[in-house]
Amino acid sequence: QQPVQSPQAVILREGEDAVINCSSSKALYSVHWYRQKHGEAPVFLMILLKGGEQKGHDKISASFNEKKQQSSLYLTASQLSYSGTYFCGTEHEEGGGYNKLIFGAGTRLAVHP
Amino acid sequence: DTGVSQDPRHKITKRGQNVTFRCDPISEHNRLYWYRQTLGQGPEFLTYFQNEAQLEKSRLLSDRFSAERPKGSFSTLEIQRTEQGDSAMYLCASSLALGAEYFGPGTRLTVT
């Protein structure tokens, strides 16, 4: 039931773009995205609810494809501060918004000058 | 809003000892979650509370683990008879119902 994240790791130069995917085998109610830097707690980025919406702030945005049960996180014009491990947390539809999050194994992103 | 706090930040204990961790959530948040995270993995769900009620507990959690949230405020997580496999980062998070979860800094447990 754990969502599958791809790729496992990405190396970028400053200014390059990246896409991180999160796929589930079960119908999803929501997808939550977090970024975690080494030795720190995960930091909330955004939530997407079923309905195929897209969200974003600054140069980080995400989409949720309900038909594919997949969410993608888009990082554009990457900055050094974007480095870290990105996790998606998925909530299954059967919970209707009252279920726990199940996190993927993470995607490690390194941005170099 | 001072964020989620956890205490202690680090704990080293010998195998077989009991340990207790504390989490203070964001004050207006009615939900509180406990997770465990090992190196290279995402947070693994342990249990969660809505106010003072414990609504779900992971089936992976042995009977040595217990959590409480008296009066719906702070929460404690106790591990009895610790084993080396319990070594991990223990994360607490809080949220409003249907909202984003905000994580605390975690308690790193090392069992020797």
**Strands B65-68 and B75-79: what pairing?**
antiparallel
B45·A32 Cβ contact <8 A: no
- Using a 10 angstrom Cβ sphere, with 0-12 exposed, 13-18 middle and 19 or more buried, the burial of residue A67 is exposed
B56 contacts in chain A (CB < 8 Å)? 100
pLDDT at B96: 87
Q: B33 at the A interface (CB within 8 A)?
A: yes
Quick one: pLDDT at residue A95?
62
Asked if the Cβ–Cβ distance from A32 to B42 is below 8 Å, we say: no
The pLDDT of residue A97: 59
Q: What is the pLDDT of residues B43-58, one digit of tens each?
A: 999 999 999 999 888 8
Residue identified by tokens 């405020």 is B73
For chain B, the average pLDDT equals 93
User: What whole-number distance in Å separates Cα of residue A102 and Cα of residue A34?
Assistant: 12
* Nearest beta carbon to residue A41 from set B42, B45, B105: B105
pLDDT digits (tens, 9 = 90+) for B86-111: 999 999 999 987 778 999 999 999 99
Cβ-contact B34, B46 below 8 angstroms: yes
Q: What is the pLDDT of residues A19-63, one digit of tens each?
A: 999 999 988 888 999 999 998 999 999 989 877 666 677 789 999
Q: Which pairs count as long-range contacts for A19-22, CB under 8 Å and 24+ apart, including other chains? A: A19/A72, A19/A73, A19/A74, A19/A75, A20/A72, A20/A73, A20/A75, A20/A86, A20/A88, A20/A107, A20/A109, A21/A70, A21/A71, A21/A72, A21/A73, A22/A70, A22/A71, A22/A72, A22/A73, A22/A88, A22/A90, A22/A104
B102 touches chain A (CB under 8 A): yes
A59-64 long-range contacts, Cβ below 8 Å, gap at least 24? A62/A31, A62/A33, A64/A28, A64/A31
pLDDT at A91 over 60: yes
* pLDDT score for A74: 95
Averaged pLDDT score across all residues of chain A? 90
Q: In this complex, do B103 and A103 lie within 8 Å of one another by their Cβ atoms?
A: no
DSSP A2: P
